[in-house]
Structure 1
Amino acid sequence: MLIQYLTQEFEHEVSNTRKLLQAVSEKDIAYKPAAISWTMGELAQHIATIYYWYVGALTQDVYDLASDKLERGEASDLQATLALFEANVKKAREALSTLTPEKLDQEWTMKAGDRVVLGPLPRGMVTRGFLFNHIYHHRGELIVYLRATGNPVPGLYGPTYEESRR
């Protein structure tokens, strides 16, 4: 039953993520709120990339970022980021379909070469915390970027303030 709920949440939130990524304006792709921040394009690309990590997190016991090369394209190319998102969602959906209750209890580790980045943690915690919540966190940042640049923010869990005022 838990896997069914995770899958339903995944599908619902993919739709919300798509709305946000589609709300990014080409004219504001280079916007960043501070010198240490990502540009809006880099942030959008990172969100699209997280879906790629589902494969390593859900199908491998140890996922090594250093040995996994993902072609992302230019962060300033919004169409490339949207295509990356759609391709990675497909891969994430396939990886999510391999989950079993037993796999949720197995330990998982993320490495970058010899350095442990995350874990070991039960894969169930990784699924919720590292994959799902990680995306939600960065979507919140992207909403701030959209608001700061005057772009409309799509409603994710009901209408936004602007949508409710129409």
Structure 2
Amino acid sequence: MGITKSFLLELAHEVNSTKKIIACVPNDKWGWKPHVKSMSLGDLSKHIVELTVWTENILTKDFLDFQVDYKPLQAVTTEDLLVLLDKYEKVVISALNVFDEEKWMSDWKLKSGDHIIVEMPKVAANRFIVNNHIYHHRGQLSVYLRLLDIAIPGMYGPSADDAK
């Protein structure tokens, strides 16, 4: 199996998991934070969703420049996020379906103006900057929801809330 096919399989499973947990975010708690240094529930949810489409940037460009290319996600409800997640999933699938497998080892940069934050092969950027980053923040989101006494959906099998 090639790298592209493995990312397509992973995307199908993981976007479903992301949809399940994002759907649990209550609109009336978007500003809630578990700690003053934490992101708000809404900002964390938006960050998880926006990271999904970064795969398309990695596949089609050689860098993402925060000063030029980054625009904060404009969403104000959980429903907005779910619509965007569906859209981003389609964009990423389309980009993966036409991506040249040989280019996975070409470099991609995350930068801010002239400052290079990180530079690595596209395959590593997609794994570490997108996928692992999403999984990390989904775990964080599950803790936020638990602290708000909101049931957590199972993502890799049943959760304690799914057990009966």
Q: Does TM, normalized by the shorter one, top 0.5?
A: yes
**Correspondence for 2:153:** 154
* Alignment: residue pair count: 163
Secondary structure of the residue aligned to 1:66 is: coil
- Cross-structure match for 2:51: 50
Distance 2:59 2:16 in 1: 21
Find the counterpart in structure 1 of residue 11 from structure 2: 10
Q: How far apart in 2 are the matches of 1:32 and 1:69?
A: 24
Distance 2:97 2:64 in 1: 18
1:134 and 2:133 correspond: yes
- Please give the alpha-carbon distance, in whole angstroms, between the structure 1 residues aligned to 2:86 and 2:65: 23
CA-atom RMSD in angstroms? 1.6
What are the ranges of 5 or more consecutive residues in structure 2 without an aligned counterpart?
none
Alignment of 1:77-92 (within 5 A): 77-92=77-92
Partner of residue 28, structure 1: 29
Q: CA deviation at 1:49?
A: 0.7
**Is the partner of 1:90 in helix, strand or coil?**
helix
1:26 deviates by 1.9
Following the alignment from structure 1 to structure 2, what is the Cα–Cα distance between the partners of residues 79 and 100?
34
Give % identity: 32
TM-score (norm 1): 0.90
Aligned to 2:124, the other structure's residue is in SS state: helix
**Amino acid aligned to 1:11:** A
**Cα shift readout 1:65-123 (whole Å, capped 9, x = no counterpart):** 3222546224x42222222222222222222223333111111111122221221x111
CA distance in structure 2 between the aligned counterparts of 1:97 and 1:144, rounded to whole angstroms? 35
Give the C-alpha shift of residue 17 in structure 1.
Answer: 0.4
Counterparts of 2:49 and 2:69 in 1: how far apart (Å)?
A: 16
SS in 1 for 2:117: strand
8 Å CA contact retained: 1:30, 1:41: yes
Deviations 1:13-55 (A, max 9, x none): 0100000100111232221111111111110000111012112
Matched to 2:154, the amino acid is G
Tell me the distance in 2 between the aligned counterparts of 1:65 and 1:54.
15
User: What runs of 5+ residues in structure 1 fail to find an aligned partner?
Assistant: none
Report the 3-state secondary structure (helix = DSSP H, G, I; strand = E; otherwise coil) of the residue aligned with 2:74: coil
Structure 1 residues 71 and 43: alpha-carbon distance in aligned structure 2, compared to 1, 3 A threshold: closer
Read off the aligned partner of 1:128 and give its amino acid letter. Answer: R
3-state SS, counterpart of residue 151 of structure 2: coil
Name the CA distance, whole Å, in 1 between partners of 2:122 and 2:42: 30
